[in-house]
Amino acid sequence: MPVKAPSDQVTYLEAISRALRDAMREDPSVFLLGQDVAAYGGAFKVTAGMLEDFGPERVMNTPISESGAIGVAVGAALLGRRPVVEMQFADFISCGFNQIVNVAAKMFWRTGRPVPLVIRCPAGGGAGAGAFHSQCVEAWFLHTPGLKVVAPAFPRDAYWLLRAAIRDPDPVLYFEHKQLYRRVKAPASAVFDAGGGSDGRDGHGAGGGGAAGPPPRIGQAATLREGEHVTVISYGWTAHHALEAAEKVAAEGISVEVLDLRTLAPLDEEAVLRAARKTGRVLIAHEACLSGGFGGELAARIAEKAFEHLDAPVRRLAYPDIPVPYHRALEAACLPSAEKIAQVVRELRGW
């Protein structure tokens, strides 16, 4: 893939593709595997052209067996390779669940040997694709020690966090919301620049395509917007809804702080508590289902460690506890949106 000129816009999908290519060029131990990732280029064309560039020994199709693909990848990682497995859809990862939570996650504790494995998970709804192709399943893995879980919202974060995930000695679940792929863009110079000038907490610039700070690290949240009245904590596609909601209510005199977690495990708990203490009113928004979603864990930590700073109950906005409907209007009624976030922010401000 040709390197884009600094003035060109880079999509979220292109940033992920570039991260894979750069990692493979720099480290011959990195290889890709998954269903249709070779000649077809993957379900969303993230790996298009890579078979021609790197050959069949580094870009491998697998049978329709997520358990088999992940098992092979774990074995390869134990032998010193750095595999990156693509799930066609994050939903299908359930077929490889045992290999992830009982093998990859625990291998270091059993043997002392690292498992440098990345599993890319295209997740999320909004396309009317139904219950088997639309879920946000990150919470399944947040209950398993030994796994890292990353969910970037911007092209710059997508690029650098994937590079970091590939270098990491632990297995990493890397969640890519499908609505981000071609909708969210940033200048190439901002995405790929590894320059300094920031402490990594000014995420709207670093993540959103403005002046780039140092590359984000796994376990480091980003403040997308400074605010005084209400804090909204989110990640992935929902972080963009949070920013839009903050713009909506700003016209009403409500100042919203927006925190993008970027990494769910390890959690940047310090950033979460700092943002909660700053405003005393917190909304946690995510697309995963409400019950058992990560919002519940965040709310518990805030209640436990920042209770004396709260001026209102910690609120959650999430997907209802139902399977994803096929009908687009029904699905839209379930999804978090900027207007839904704005309404909860208004309620918190008035508490």
Q: What residues are annotated to the active site? A: 133
Amino acid at 227: G
Q: What is the distance between the alpha carbons of residues 78 and 194, in angstroms, rounded to a whole number?
A: 30
Q: What is the distance between the alpha carbons of residues 29 and 208, in angstroms, rounded to a whole number?
A: 31
Q: What is the distance between the alpha carbons of residues 88 and 85, in angstroms, rounded to a whole number?
A: 10
User: CA separation (Å) from 212 to 12, 89, 156, 284?
Assistant: 16, 31, 8, 26
Task: Evaluate whether 157 touches 124 at the Cβ level (below 8 Å).
Answer: no
Q: Which two tokens stand for residue 147?
A: 């796994």
If DSSP states are collapsed to H, E and C, what string results for 193-252? CCCCCCCCCCHHHHHHCCCCCCCCCCCCCEEEECCCCEEEEECCHHHHHHHHHHHHHHCC
Amino acid at 112: G
Q: What is the distance between the alpha carbons of residues 71 and 135, in angstroms, rounded to a whole number?
A: 23
Q: Please name which of 129, 91, 122, 90 lies closest in space to residue 327, comparing C-alpha atoms.
A: 129
User: Beta partners for 30?
Assistant: 82
Cβ partners under 8 Å of residue 267, min gap 6: 219, 261
Q: Which two tokens stand for residue 203?
A: 């995420």
Q: What is the distance between the alpha carbons of residues 248 and 242, in angstroms, rounded to a whole number?
A: 10
